[in-house]
Structure 1
Amino acid sequence: MSQARMKVAVLVSGSGSNLQVLIDRVKSGDLEIDLVGVISNREDAYAITRAKEAGIPVAVLSHVPSGKRMSISTFEKHALEQIQQWSADLVVLAGFMRVLSAQFIHSVPCPMINLHPSLLPNYKGLDTHQRVLRSGDNHHGCSVHLVTAELDAGQVLSQAWLSVRTGDSAETLAKRVQVLEHQLVPFTIDLIIKGVISIQDAKTANSSSMMPLPLKLWLDQP
Structure 2
Amino acid sequence: MGSERPDAAKQIIINVRARGRLVMPETAGPNGKIPRMKKLVILISGRGSNMEAVVRACARDGWPAEVAAVISNRPGAAGLAFAASHGIATALVDHRGFDSRDSFDAALAAEIDRFEPDLVVLAGFMRILTQAFVARYEGRMLNIHPSLLPSFKGVHTHQQALDAGVAVHGATVHFVTPELDSGAIVAQAAVPVVAGDDADALAARVLAAEHVLYPRVVRWFVQEQVRLVDGRAVLAPGCARWLFADATDISTGEGV
In the alignment, the residues of structure 1 paired with residue 55 and residue 238 of structure 2 have an alpha-carbon distance, to the nearest angstrom, of 29
TM-score by length of 1: 0.89
1:82 aligns with 2:115: no
Aligned residues of 2:50 and 2:210 also touching (Cα < 8 A)? yes
Secondary structure (helix, strand or coil) at the match of 2:59 reads: helix
Match of 2:207? 178
3-state SS of the aligned residue for 1:28? coil
Question: Which structure has the larger Rg over C-alpha atoms?
Answer: 2
1:107-128 alpha-carbon deviations (Å, 9 max, x no partner): 2376100010000111111110
Q: Which residue of 1 aligns with 2:236?
A: 210
8 Å Cα contact 1:42-1:60 kept in structure 2 = yes
8 Å contact from structure 2 (residues 184, 233) kept in 1 = no
CA–CA distance in structure 1, aligned partners of residues 121 and 92 of structure 2:
16
Residues 211 and 155 of structure 1: CA distance in aligned 2, closer, same or farther (over 3 Å) = farther
After superposition, give the CA deviation of every residue in 1:122-171 in whole Å (9 maximum; x if it has no partner).
Answer: 11111100000000000011010000111111100010111100000001
Among 212, 224, 228, the residue aligned to 1:200: 228
Q: 1:81 to 1:109 in 2, by over 3 A?
A: farther
Once residues 219 and 97 of structure 1 are traced to their aligned partners in structure 2, the CA distance between those partners, rounded to angstroms, is 27
Secondary structure of 1:144's aligned partner: strand
Local SS of the residue matching 2:204:
helix
How far is 1:97 from its partner? Answer: 0.8
- Do the aligned partners of residues 63 and 216 (structure 1) sit closer, same or farther apart at CA in structure 2, a change above 3 Å counting? closer
% identical aligned pairs: 34
More moved, 13-22 vs 148-157: 13-22
Is 1:22 the counterpart of 2:54? The answer is yes
TM-score normalised to structure 2 length:
0.78
1:145 aligns with 2:177: no
C-alpha displacement at 1:70, in angstroms? 6.5
Compute the displacement of 1:26 (Å): 1.6
Q: Name the structure 2 match of 1:13.
A: 45
Describe the shift of the 1:214–1:78 C-alpha distance in structure 2 as closer, same or farther (beyond 3 A): farther
- C-alpha distance in 2 between matches for 1:56 and 1:122: 35
- Structure-2 change in CA distance of 1:51 and 1:70 (3 Å): farther
Q: Which runs of 5+ in 1 are unaligned?
A: none
C-alpha RMSD of matched pairs (Å): 2.2
Worse overlay, 102-111 or 20-29: 102-111
More helix by share: 1
Instruction: Give the 3 Å change call, closer, same or farther, for CA 206–146 of structure 1 in structure 2.
Output: closer
Residue type of the partner of 1:189?
V
- Which residue of the other structure, out of 129, 141, 144, is the alignment partner of 1:115? 144
8 A Cα contact 2:186 2:233, kept in partner: no
Distance in 2 (alpha carbons) for counterparts of 1:39 and 1:70:
20
What residue identity is the alignment partner of 2:80?
I
Question: Hey, what does 1:38 align to over in structure 2?
Answer: 70
Q: Name the structure 1 match of 2:90.
A: 58
